[in-house]
Every structure is written in C-alpha cells, then in structure tokens.
Structure 1
Amino acid sequence: MRFQLLGPLTITDGPEAVVLQPSKPTILLAALLLHANAVVSADYLQRAVWGEEQPATAKAALQTCVLRLRRLFTKHGVTETSIEAVPGGYRITAEPHSLDLLGFRDQVRRAVAMSQDPEAELCTLKDALSLWQGSLLANVRSDVLHRDEVPRLAEERLRSVERVCDLLLGLGRYGEALVELWTATRVYPGHERLHEQLIEALYRTGRQTQALAEYRRVKGFLLDELGVDPSPALQQLELAILRGEDPGAEDSRPLRPPGALTRVVEGELVVAAGSAPAPT
C-alpha cells in the first residue's frame, strides 16, 4: 500500500489506485503526509482544513476527521501507516516505499552521492522525477496547503529537472535535453537557468538562429512581465553564440556546431555559425 502526494492525493495497492474525493479528511491526510514522521500541531492542521478563520468547534471536528481517516485506512487495508495522537498534535508514519514524496527525496539523495558517475546520477534522477504524476494536490481544497506547501514542492522538482538537463548537456545528449527543456521553459517562463540550458542546447545542435530567437523571446518576457533585463549569464551566453564561441569554455574557444561550415581567412579558422541545417 502506498500514498501518492506528487499529483492528486491517491492510495495505491499495486495496479489498483483510489483517488480520494475532496473532503476535510483528505485535506488532513495531505497535511500530515507533507510532514510525515514529524509532529504536526493541531493548530496548523486546523488552519489547513478550515483556513485562517476556524469555527469554534474546530478542535473537536479535527478529532472527528482523524477518526474518519482511520476508518478509511481500515477500509483500504492500510496497515503500515498509522496516525498517532501525540502531545500538541498528530503524527503519521511513512517510509520511502509507502509515500512517493519520501521516495522522491530518497532517490534525489542517492543521486547526489553519485556525482562522480553522471550516467548513474542521471538515471537515478529520472527515476525520482517519474514519481510525479500530475498537478500537485489537485483534489486537496486547502488554500493554506496550496499557498505554503505546493510552491516548496514544485521548487524541489525544478531543482531536479535543472540537474537532469545539466547532466544531459554535459554528456552531449543535446536532443534529449531539448525535449525536457521545451516543456520546462513553458511551464516556468521566468526561470532564467532553464532558458540558459535551452538556448545552449539549441546552439549545440546547430540551431543558432533558433537559439538567438529564444534569447530575444526570453528577454522580451523578462522586460514586459518582470521589468528586468536578462541575467549576466544569459547575456554572456548570447554574446558567445554571436561570436561562435563555446558557451561552456572558460577561455571562450570557438565552437563548431554540428554541420557548421568553415573557411580559412588569412590563416585563421572561421566558423560560419548558423550555417548548419536544423536537425530533423
């Protein structure tokens, strides 16, 4: 039996999955699972379930919600996970194999320890990201959780996506990086690091024109929506592309994109950047 938080809140048993209906016990379960193995105060749980303006009966109603959750666990055969009443609040116990959020974090920790083996780190991070199954807490109607918890979880995922793309670029797997980055940059249009990676991947696959067009698009978005200029890193990347240099080289050596034409002028090799046809 497993709980899935990284998407709609779901209880799974092998191939069987039960997506919980929006309800106050569902909100309570989400709040406990988000802080699994730690004591969650009754006050926080009440705010998560009823919002900042709680009814006078919130304390008693919280106890009723706990009882309803325990009955739900019995109904679905949940035996490994329990809800404990402890001084000041409640605690739910879970392990990486019984809660996808803990499984994700465990995989990310394992990946960090594999930094000397990029292929192994990449594989482990991809396994971790595969645990994400849609919109976070889509069936959990709590303004408090969506305000306080969902952005933090989204940031955890984003850091792993960034690292996956860094690894793909470092391994020369630019086409795979593009697949990841096209989606990520549209979901996070103001996230400059992802755009840096996308622009670099486009350039390294011989798409200089597209890379520069993407830079202009990002620059326009940042100015129009946020009122800021692109970061120095993005500006340096544009300059490197215009000069035909390797964006990743400290000494800015010329980079020859795949299929780029070259010519010799007065004994110097000149890269005709952008002359390569776009891959199909």
Structure 2
Amino acid sequence: MSGDTDDAGLTSADADEQAAGSRRTRFTVLGLLTLADGRETVVLQPSRPAALLAALLLNANSVVSAEFLQRVIWGDVPPDRAKSALHSCVLRLRRLFGKYGVAGNPIEAMPGGYRFTADAHTLDLVEFRELLDRAYSRPADEPEKELGLLRAALALWKPPLLTNVPSDLLHRDEVPRLHEEWLRAIQRVFDLELVCGRPGDALGEIWPATRDHPLNERFTGQLMTALYRTGRRAEALAEYRRFKTLLAEQLGVDPGPALQRLELAILRGEADDGPVPAATALPAAPPAPAQATASRREPRPADPAPHPGADAYAARDRTDRDPAAGPAAAATAAARARAGTGGATDDATGEDPADTALLPAALVLDRLVGAGLLQEGPHGHYRMHELLRVFTRAAAADGVGARAASGDHPTNRPLRPGAVELHPTEA
C-alpha cells in the first residue's frame, strides 16, 4: 500500500479515513475473529461461515482456491456437491455483512475461487504487515523509529488467535505462520532495546517470552545479554545452564556454537560495544570503576603486614570477579596463608613459597567438596560440578594448555611433578 505515513504508526488508510470522516467496518484476525463498525464489536460464533471468513481474511487481496476453502470448512472429506455447499456459505456471509452494515461487497467471485478485498483500515492483519514492512525498511541508524513502528504493529496482536474459528487446517498451518511473523518482530524489538542501551527495560518483556518459548535459543541469548548488561552475571550464566539442561533432557543436544560463545564471553567479562543485531552477539560489559581497571594494569604498592588469611580472602574475591581464576587460585592462596608467607616471594629465585608448599590432596578434595564444586560418591569417586567445568573451559580457552609452547606466556613455568597439562579439548 502506498502513501505517506508518520512515526506514530498511522497508516495511509487511517489518514484517508480521518480526512473523509466516514465509518467503515473493521475485521480482526490477530485475536478473536470479529467485525466492528466503530460503535460495537461483534464476535462471530464458531460456524462454517466463520471458518470461511477467516480463511479469506488470512489471505486478503489474494484469490483463494475453492478446493482450499472446502478443506478449511470440511477437512479432508468434503460433502457431495461441495461447490454448491461452498457457494451457500458465501451467501450466508454476505447476508451477515448486510445485517451489520458492511459497505460494498468485499467477497469477490474469481475464476477458481474467491477474494476478500481489504486495506490497513478494514483488516488488522494488513495494517500489521504494513507496519512491519515499514519498520524493516528503516535505515540502520534509526533504531528508535524502527522500534516505534514495531511496537505499533505488536499492539495489534491480541492472542490467542482465532479460537472461535472451527478449522483444524487453519490452526495447523495458518496460525503458526502468523506466530512466526510475531516472533521475528518481538525478537527484533528486544535487539533494538539492547542496541539503544535499555537492557533493564527489556528484561521485563524478554523474561516471560523466554519462559513461554523455553526452547528458543535466541530468546535465551537475549535474556543472558540483558541480565549481563544490568550487572547480573551469575543469573545470566544460570540461564545458560537451565537452557543447556533442558536441551539435553528433551532433545539430547547441546546449545548452538553462538550461544556457547556468548556464555564464554560473559564468563570472561569480555566487552563488545558494537551493535547487537542478533541475540548471539557478544554482550557489552558493565562499566567497571576506573580505579579497579587501573589496578589490573599498574603494580600495586606494597601493603603493610597483611594478616595470614588476607591472601586467601583476596583469592576468593578474584574468583568472584573472574571465575577463570577458579579453585586453583583459591587453593594456592590457602597454601600461602597456611605457610604464613602472606604472598611473599623468594628474592633469590622469584618463586612463590606456596609453589612448593602444596596442600595435601585429601585436604584439597575436602575443600572442593565443601565449596560445592565436587560431589563425593562411593568408592572414593567424585562428580565434577558444572561450574567447575565452566572454570576449566575458560582456563583452557585462555591458553593455559598452551603455556608450555609459548615462551612469553605470563604463567610459563615448568609443570610440577605429578601435574597434568590442561588442554582445551579436555575442558
């Protein structure tokens, strides 16, 4: 449909109608099948004429074959003399239109079938698609205008759809097609809210959409991104674990590579300040205080006389902020505290005394079990918690396994006796 439009969501048909000052009947299919004349709304009762009208409206301005209409009304077993029966249903619809003052003859007999003529003012589906077309054609540098058009289109959506239409074919084939159009629009809305820097506002809508579509990977990615950008990193990772568990239980598969990369990016705290065209793009990290950022790049001044437990506390804090530090850092700090070194180094060798003062294996296992990272089983076996697997994958992806091959890696040092080199494939 052609014609100038404004950014408030009004279509050209609306503007023409307002100028003319007349009243026209409006049909709706993005909810219950209804017709309204501006004063009252009539909800059609379940009947064969209602199924016929719904089929014509869902394919407005196109010729719908008589064979298709017969299957819509009677299923796969049409009655004898089906053409005459279909014509009778059309006549009943036309009488209904006359009763409620529908102007003109919107149902046209065409060679091979029928056509219902409608515009954006007389049918909500036409207006819905016109608004979507205008939104998707907006330039990329106008996200707010695109968002406004999409929200105007989604305001027409009033589910559940066509529950007063008795047609298995329409509910099996046509209604899911409409739902796909809604999915594309609402996912684009969530992307634009994230692009415009409003993850907190988007959360209230993304969360119920994710719960209503638990196997939709894109909704899950958008929810993880919104949670992460509002500083709720742990909840973002928990959403990934929930989705991964659900996929494994119901389908026996893992999340796609894009969602796995998103999880790893959130785990590492990586930032991506660019646009987010899809839910699988890397999220932007929450802004960190300048002092905290500087402390990672510049040497810290020596602290006076730390107490024996200070290193262990610092390791726990590093683990909270950077899960890749993992249990190994906590164990090393505990060893330092136990040895009373306070994190000091040997000036002659440059080695930490804790490197040679390892905790006994049994004590390390006990602490990992106490921290909930391992679960003790029978016969001395242990089951690894999913969070420990995440830490291991992050450490492997950061190149821990390649330190022996890289001479300039910060952690390049010989492996201790009995230690096992970590490779990304083992994470």
TM-score w.r.t. length of structure 2? 0.60
Counterpart CA distance in 1 for 2:163 and 2:134 is 28
Deviations along 1:223-243, one digit per CA (max 9) or x if unpaired, are: 112222101111011101110
Using a 3 Å threshold, how does the CA distance of structure 1 residues 102 and 254 change in structure 2: closer, same or farther? closer
1:277 maps to which residue?
none
Structure 1: state its 5+ residue gaps: 275-280
> Does residue 37 of structure 1 match 2:86?
no
Report what 2:99 is aligned to.
75
Counterpart of 2:188 in structure 1 is 163
Task: Tell me whether 1:95 sits opposite 2:111 in the alignment.
Answer: no
Distance 2:189 2:299 in 1: 37
CA contact (8 A) 2:34 2:42 kept: yes
Does residue 267 in structure 1 map to residue 298 in structure 2?
Answer: yes
Summarize the Cα distance change of 1:194–1:161 in structure 2 as closer, same or farther, 3 Å threshold.
same
Q: Flag the 1:252–1:218 CA change in 2: closer, same or farther, 3 A.
A: closer
- 1:131 aligned to 156, 159, 178, which one? 156
Larger Rg: 2
1:200-257 CA distance string (max 9 Å, x none): 0011011111111111111111111222210111101110111011256699798235
Aligned partner (choices 128, 131, 145) of residue 107 of structure 1? 131
1:241–1:253 Cα change, 3 Å: closer
Q: Is the 8 A contact 1:261 1:273 kept in 2?
A: no
> Relative to 1, partners in 2 of residues 1:196 and 1:15: Cα closer, same or farther, differing over 3 Å?
farther
Give runs of ≥4 in structure 1 deviating > 6 Å: 250-254, 258-261, 268-271
Contact 1:12/1:18 (8 A) holds in 2 = yes
Tell me what 1:255 maps to: 285
Alignment partners' CA distance in 1, 2:43 and 2:234: 46
Distance 1:82 1:261 in 2: 70
How many equivalent pairs are there?
274
Cα distance in structure 1, aligned partners of 2:85 and 2:215: 42
Conserved 8 A contact 1:3-1:10: yes
The 2-side partners of 1:165 and 1:81 are apart by 41
Residue aligning to 1:173: 198
Question: Within 5 Å, which residues of 2 pair with 1:179-190?
Answer: 179-190=204-215
Letter in 2 for 1:215: Y
Residues 80, 240 of structure 1: alpha-carbon distance in 2 compared, 3 angstrom cutoff: farther
Contact conserved, 2:154 with 2:182, CA < 8 A, in 1?
yes
Distance 2:217 2:49 in 1: 39
Matched position secondary structure for 1:262 = helix
Query: Which residue is 2:40 aligned to?
Result: 16
Query: C-alpha deviations, 1:69-127, integer Å up to 9, x for none?
Result: 00111111111561011111111100011111110000011112223311111011000
| Structure holding more strand per residue | 1
Question: Is it true that 1:52 corresponds to 2:82 in the alignment?
Answer: no
Relative distance call for 1:167 and 1:228 in structure 2 (3 A) is same
Alignment TM-score, normalising by the size of structure 1: 0.90
Q: Which moved more, 1:37-46 or 1:224-233?
A: 224-233
The Cα shift of 1:153 comes to 0.6
Query: Bigger relative contact order, structure 1 or 2, given CA contacts below 8 A and separation 6+?
Result: 1
Q: Distance between the aligned counterparts of 2:134 and 2:43, measured in 1? A: 29
